[in-house]
Amino acid sequence: MKAAIYQAGEWLEERTGVGAACRHFLFEDIPASSGWPQVFGSVCLFLFLTQMLTGILLAFNYAATPGDAYRSVSYILERVTAGKMIHGLHHWGASLMIVAVFLHMAQVFIYGAYKRPREATWIAGIALLLLTLAFGLTGYLLPWDNRAYWGTVVTAQIMAGVPFAGPLLTQLIGAANGIGVVTFSRFYALHTLLLPGVTGLLIAFHIYLVRRHGAAAAPTDNGNTQKFYPKQAFRDVIAVFIAFVLLFAAAAFLEVPLERIADPTDTSYVPRPEWYFLFLFQLLKIFQGRMEVVGTVVLPTLAIVALIILPFADRLHRRMLTGRVQAAAAVLLAFSIWAGLTATAERSTPTSVHSSRVPREAAQWAQIPPEQIAGFGYFHSSGCGSCHNLLVGTPKAGPNLGHAGVQHPKEWLIQHFRSPEPSAAPLHLSLPKLNALSLFVENVRPDSVSLLKRMSAQYIVGSQTFVVSGCISCHKVNGSGGGVGPPLNGLVNRRSDQWVIDHFADPQRLSPGSIMPHYQFSKVDEDALITYLFSLAD
């Protein structure tokens, strides 16, 4: 057996030279000063490969047309085995990759590793940074939810404002007549076909240049060398492992934003880009009107040009670490400016834009009348499940409501709740709660029960608060209810959290002439009610 394995290895080595190449890579000489700061390049490569793998896995269930794209993403998140994890790895991997690329460039800048003969290596790194941002920009539209659509509208408007090249750029991305199928197709092609190939080739060229010129020494290097394996290889493996743990934790515990399907008529929507583009969004507020082009085009372009010409402008010899204080200060200043703009933009984001408080399944739940949702909650809180099954289960004393159906009218049910058979205890619920319970019992269906069982407790509490407060008597929800007040479907597009809270407390101040009474809800009921109201689609 050992002889066969040895012969196979010899055959592979003779024809490919893979073993010699690996040994040369592992045991090459690198500066003795190499250490933890040099691990970010390996982390960037690992994250790129992770993005490629997860992107391929997502593509197996992704439909590359606007309307179907949204439904396919929902299908991946809710139905595909490990789909939520794969989607989370891809989403958060994009953010982590941008962080890693920036850290890698900052380390190269501080160490002065961009100087001769590594100018081309530095410029290739800048190109990779731009390609990484391009991945984020083109992938942003692909879920085709409201957040993605309106964020891309802003991007198209910025491109249209580029002097001289604006019309050409909007034509290239297919946005001359608005964001639509053409824009979607071109962004998808860029994200899945062109950018991966170009980035892969550029990464290979970048690695080749690093191999050609060798790893750059630290400013304090004394000229000694060490082998890449085992010390530096161990550091790279540990850094990659830490990156994977962070990425896995983010995918497992952080919710990936997915709002309702894109609505081009929803002009009240406040768009927000991903966090790594928020600084540009804030610059739009600083440079307004004719000066907008300064913030969106001139300043970013000047920053990129300055990075490209840096190796040719900096002709000083590498000095000791104290001589790189200026470089570290420049990195810190740039980071502070970026962080300040990003934090300011985040603080100015309206509360209603943060949609993560609404469960993703809310679009399905909202189709169920609020009385039935509330009645489902009263069914369980009143202990009805101890005698009745709603689906297939162990036989109980009472009939299975999901299969037997209910033949009694509403009045009989309410009277039965109040005065059941001697073996059951009466329900001491108010009339609105009994009405909701009877409506639920009358409309028990296996499909609706399966959906209700997956519903969050907060959503049920919100529906119950809506019912017992009598809101349904004045407001229409999904076409049913009173017509005294305005319909509540699509409220999230018209009002913010705070406006709704203030309206509960003083309706006449915000809606003069309103006959709505004042409401003083508990914090729990108020949050749950707003969550329910904001889930009602148009």
User: How high is the pLDDT of residue 444?
Assistant: 76
Position 503, amino acid? H
- Is 322's pLDDT higher than 50? no
CA 412/CA 410 separation, integer angstroms: 5
> What are 432's two structure tokens?
């609105």
| Mean of pLDDT values over 498-509 | 84
CA 519 to chain centre: 35
User: How high is the pLDDT of residue 54?
Assistant: 97
User: How high is the pLDDT of residue 74?
Assistant: 84
393-406 pLDDT per residue, tens:
677 777 777 665 56
Position 500, amino acid? V
> Nearest-5° angle of CA 248, CA 250, CA 251?
65
Contact 538, 263 (CB under 8 A): yes
Write down the pTM of the prediction.
0.69
460-496 pLDDT per residue, tens:
888 888 888 888 888 888 777 777 888 887 787 677 7
Residues with Cβ within 8 Å of 443's Cβ and at least 6 positions away in sequence, in order, are 372
User: How high is the pLDDT of residue 252?
Assistant: 93
CA 516/CA 173 separation, integer angstroms: 49
> What are 170's two structure tokens?
């909007």
| pLDDT band for position 355 (cuts 50, 70, 90) | very low
Contact 116, 312 (CB under 8 A): no
Task: Give domain limits for the chain.
Answer: 32-275, 362-533
| pLDDT band for position 361 (cuts 50, 70, 90) | low
Q: Which of the following CATH numbers is that of domain 362-533: 1.10.260, 2.60.40, 1.10.760, 1.10.1760? A: 1.10.760
DSSP, res 98: H
CA-to-CA dists, residue 29 to 21, 170, 206, 232, 391, angstroms:
14, 49, 19, 11, 68
DSSP, res 261: B
- Is 81's pLDDT higher than 60? yes
| Mean of pLDDT values over 382-400 | 75
Nearest to 377 by CA among 448, 459, 308, 298: 459
244-261 pLDDT per residue, tens:
999 999 999 998 888 777
DSSP, res 316: P
Q: Is 164 left (phi over 0), alpha (psi -120 to 50) or beta?
A: left
User: How high is the pLDDT of residue 354?
Assistant: 43
- Is 316's pLDDT higher than 60? no
> What are 453's two structure tokens?
């069982």
Contact 535, 362 (CB under 8 A): yes
Residues with Cβ within 8 Å of 423's Cβ and at least 6 positions away in sequence, in order, are 397
User: How high is the pLDDT of residue 403?
Assistant: 61
261-305 pLDDT per residue, tens:
787 766 667 787 888 888 888 887 888 878 888 888 899 999 999
User: How high is the pLDDT of residue 460?
Assistant: 83
- Is 314's pLDDT higher than 80? no
146-188 pLDDT per residue, tens:
889 988 988 888 888 888 888 999 999 998 888 889 999 999 9
- Is 320's pLDDT higher than 60? no
* CB burial of residue 7 (10 Å; 0-12, 13-18, 19+): exposed
**Percent of the chain clearing pLDDT 90 (strictly above):** 28
> What are 14's two structure tokens?
């003779």
The CATH class for the domain spanning 32-275 reads mainly alpha
| pLDDT band for position 356 (cuts 50, 70, 90) | very low
